[in-house]
Amino acid sequence: MKKQSKWTALDIASMGIMLAIVEVCKHALDFLPNIELVSFLFIIFTLHYGWRIILLTWAFSAIECVYFGFGPWTITYFYVWPILIIAVMLLKQFGGEHPLYYAILSGFFGLSFGFLCSLYTLVIGGVGMQLTWWISGIPYDLVHCIGNFFICLALFYPVNQAMKRIVK
């Protein structure tokens, strides 16, 4: 049986700092529809901290619920962000650290975000409601896709290099 690694005080403090960075960046760009740094930051953090970032996504989701209130979207954040972490971990195994790979992943995640978030409507309103909800949001998903792609492409190398020095 594989021994579980223990969390150190530094790990916990690092998670708190990362959570604060994600929240500040998210709210700093709230005025722009579907342009965000959250996806990019979760990608970078996952590359350096691995599976532990799923816990960070849940903490982020909980804070968003407190800030914006609880609604139908609440459940979606708790499963959508971990999907990104899983995708990053898979890509890391097969793709290394090439910025273009992660920019494409980030763009695809932005494009699929609306679909992933619409899955709860399938349960409460059926296929018709789910498709209507998803299709009506496609213009926003396209903006999300383009924004995620270019943000990741532009920031990946410098931020990844900085994270390597910080984690050391």
The domain 9-167 having CATH identifier 1.10.1760: the answer here is: yes
Of 152, 162, 159, the C-alpha closest to 87 is 152
Tell me the whole-structure pTM to 2 decimals: 0.92
Under the banding of pLDDT at 50, 70 and 90, the label for residue 168 is confident
CB-hemisphere CA count at 13 Å for 69? 2
**Which pLDDT tens digit goes with each residue over 95-124?**
778 999 999 999 999 999 999 999 888 888
Using CA atoms, how far residue 115 sits from 25, 50, 94, 110, 135, in Å, is 24, 25, 26, 10, 8
